[in-house]
Amino acid sequence: MSQVLPRPAPVVPVARRAPRLGGRHLGLLHRLLVWALLLAGSALFLLPFLWMVATSLKLSEDVFTVPPRWLPDSFEWRNYIDGWTVLPFNTFLRNSLIVTFANVLGNLVSCSLVAYGFARLRARGKNALFILLLATLMIPREVTIVPRFLLFSEVGLVNTLWPLILPAWFGYPFFIFLLRQFFMTIPRDLDDAARIDGASHLRILFDVILPLSRPALATVAIFSFIGNWTNLLDPLIYLRSTDLYTLALGLNLFRGQNFTQFNQLMAVSIITLVPVLVVFFVAQRTFIRGVTLTGMGGR
């Protein structure tokens, strides 16, 4: 992998652990101050999570107390089971899995193909098209939701999962851009060699480029996974029957019906977040590389 991503040689040889801001070592006082700020900041950022977990374990009557109490008297783990079974969350989970994986697969396939074209093939009009591709990143989703809805209702696909799946199979500019940037870092000599052996472009893409692009593909897969798993707008627009609801939409339904059962609501919220958190912790480095490679926050 390291030969694929050559790092620029540092201008100044790094002799010791380079102190960042100053030219000096950090003094003890300075270090303590940084530590104190980091600890205080982390506490602030973690509190909402802790609050979420604490609430999910309370009895209903302990949720709304003034002043709020942090720790529940007893840990009500059954909130998780009770909440999950109030609505057909198993069905919602199945729908979410279908939609999410169809999107991840669609994004990987379609965006790899398009990115290969932009990274490797020469053609008239290519630059103009690439600028067009980047420009579409700026189009707010709001502008197209009404006509898209009309399009899908015209072909009779409203209240099916298709409007949530189909667009992913036609390329997504952000991922195309990300993959194209990565493909450009792979030395052309490798595909030249394959070409001399008579390999087609598809062969080169699948046998040479993609195996070397696993980190970038992983980034696309993760962003796509999280984006679709938490997507609420499209399900809200297109899905009517409860048996088609995704987890996010089901959670919204639960929220509308059982607002007083805040403990259960929190418990189910936590369950829906678990896959996201697992993916994040397993692939944290991939994640952060994706953010810095494209300069986008991964929403």
Partner 1 sequence: MAFPSVAARVRPRPRSEAGARVKLGRQARREELAFYAFISLWIVGFLLFDAGPIVASFLVSLTNWSLLGDPTWVGGGNYQRMLDDAVFFKALRNTFYYGVGSVGLGVVTSFLLALLLNQSVRGIALFRTIFYLPAVVSGIAVAILWTNILHPDYGLLNAGLARLGIDGPGWLKSPDWSMPGLILMSLWGVGGAMVIYLAGLQSVPQHLYEAAALDGAGAWRKFRDVTIPMMSPVIFYNVVVGFITSLQGFVLILIMTDGGPANSTLVLGLYLYRNAFTFFDLGYASAIAWVLLVVIMAITALQFVAARYWVYYEADQGR
- Which residues in the 38-67 window bind partner 1 by CB under 8 A? 38, 41-42, 45-49, 51-52, 55, 63-67
**Shortest gap between Cβ of 78 and partner 1 (angstroms)?**
20
Alpha carbons 265 and 2: distance in angstroms, whole number:
46
Among the candidate windows 76-84, 96-104, 209-217, 228-236, which touches partner 1 by CB under 8 A? 228-236
Among the candidate windows 12-20, 71-79, 81-89, 95-103, which touches partner 1 by CB under 8 A? 12-20
- Interface mask toward partner 1 for 236-265; x: CB under 8 A: xx----------x--xx--x------x--x
Among the candidate windows 32-40, 75-83, 84-92, 208-216, which touches partner 1 by CB under 8 A? 32-40
Among the candidate windows 83-91, 94-102, 135-143, 211-219, which touches partner 1 by CB under 8 A? 135-143
Q: Which of 34, 134, 184, 282 binds partner 1 (CB under 8 A)?
A: 34
Indicate whether 201 belongs to the interface with partner 1 (CB under 8 A).
yes
Q: Which of 116, 174, 182, 183 binds partner 1 (CB under 8 A)?
A: 116
Q: Which of 4, 81, 150, 184 binds partner 1 (CB under 8 A)?
A: 150
Indicate whether 71 belongs to the interface with partner 1 (CB under 8 A).
no
Q: Which of 99, 102, 108, 114 binds partner 1 (CB under 8 A)?
A: 114
Amino acid letter at 171?
Answer: G
Indicate whether 203 belongs to the interface with partner 1 (CB under 8 A).
no
Task: Render the chain in DSSP notation, one character per residue.
Answer: -TTTSPPPPPSS---SS--SSSSSPPPHHHHHHHHHHHHHHHHHHHHHHHHHHHHHTS-HHHHS-SS--SS-SS--THHHHHHHHHTTHHHHHHHHHHHHHHHHHHHHHHHHHHHHHHHH---TTHHHHHHHHHHHTTS-HHHHHHHHHHHHHHTT-TTSSHHHHGGGGG--HHHHHHHHHHHHTS-HHHHHHHHHTT--HHHIIIIIIHHHTHHHHHHHHHHHHHHHHT--HHHHHH--SGGG--HHHHHHHHHHH-TT-HHHHHHHHHHHHHHHHHHHHHTHHHHHHHHHHHT----
**Shortest gap between Cβ of 33 and partner 1 (angstroms)?**
9
**Shortest gap between Cβ of 211 and partner 1 (angstroms)?**
18
Indicate whether 216 belongs to the interface with partner 1 (CB under 8 A).
no
